[in-house]
Amino acid sequence: MDTRPLDYVEIARAESERGVLVLRERRAAGGPAALELRANGAFVMDTVEVSTERALASAALALVEHPRAVVVGGLGLGFTMHEVLADPRVELCVVVEVEEALVGWMRDGTIRHGPGLLADQRVHVVIADVAVALAEARPATYDLVLLDVDNGPGYLVHESNVALYEPSALGAARAVLRPGGALAIWSADEAPDLAAALDTVFGAGSAEALPLEVLLQGREERYWLYVARVRD
């Protein structure tokens, strides 16, 4: 276990009706610096441990034969988007992020790797609530919708996000998918209520809970990918 003292330097801060978003640099004495994102004081993610974000994208991409157009719900620090863009089958990656400040930090280099990711011509960023963006999107437009807004319905960044896991919002996600497309939702724990809601929207027996083993700081952790497909 690393017991070196940590220093924190606030890099950027923004306030909205959802609360306070903070980007700070975390540095261990003699060690490399890391960026850390926090929402209302709660840890969201950092630039050191990104295996879960990458596992989410790679597992979801494997579900669809032709993921030409992908929606990523939640920008975070960009690592889910990065993994999506690494797949040469992807022709369009629409990233929906509700926090305008976070998008700005990616664009202006406050998040250092941000400008390089957003320079990819396949990326289109939409500043909106993902449930609203899906409801307003054209039907049958995408092959994969990947929700990385929270760590599942049991670990909400904002309480209002609970609606995203209910049949109305899940139905909007289904509507934007082409035949053969899939909706994939990351969860830290098993979420039987989410599976039931997916079955309601996509049809009985449509939902799958795929366990994913992820190595975090030398520890094996089990996460879950909840998936539902639109039948051809």
At residue 1, the pLDDT reads 45
- pLDDT classification of 215: cutoffs 50, 70, 90: low
Q: What is the mean pLDDT of the chain?
A: 90
Please tell me whether residues 198 and 165 are part of one structural domain: yes
- pLDDT classification of 153: cutoffs 50, 70, 90: confident
Between 20 and 161, name the one with better pLDDT. 20
Cα gap 227→71, rounded to integer Å = 14
Q: Which domain holds residue 82?
A: 51-229
| pLDDT over 90 (residue 15) | yes
Please tell me whether residues 153 and 39 are part of one structural domain: no
Strands of 19-28's sheet in order across:
6-16, 19-28, 33-39, 42-46
Cα gap 217→201, rounded to integer Å = 37
| pLDDT over 80 (residue 5) | no
- pLDDT classification of 30: cutoffs 50, 70, 90: low
| pLDDT over 50 (residue 190) | yes
Task: Indicate the number of domains in the chain.
Answer: 2
1 part of a folded domain: no
Cα gap 39→55, rounded to integer Å = 23
Please tell me whether residues 26 and 105 are part of one structural domain: no
Cα gap 60→208, rounded to integer Å = 12
Contact (CB, 8 A) for 41 and 54: no
Contact (CB, 8 A) for 170 and 209: no
Cα gap 5→222, rounded to integer Å = 29
Please tell me whether residues 185 and 221 are part of one structural domain: yes
At residue 222, the pLDDT reads 86
Residue 192 CB partners (closer than 8 Å, separation 6+): none
Please tell me whether residues 25 and 71 are part of one structural domain: no
Please tell me whether residues 109 and 15 are part of one structural domain: no
Least confident of 98-112, 113-127, 128-142, 213-227: 213-227
Please tell me whether residues 33 and 83 are part of one structural domain: no
Please tell me whether residues 39 and 128 are part of one structural domain: no
Please tell me whether residues 118 and 22 are part of one structural domain: no
Please tell me whether residues 95 and 21 are part of one structural domain: no
Average pLDDT over residues 51-58: 86
Q: What DSSP designation does 52 have?
A: H
Closest residue by Cα to residue 58 from 46, 70, 43, 49: 70
Average pLDDT over residues 109-126: 96
Closest residue by Cα to residue 48 from 88, 12, 14, 6: 6
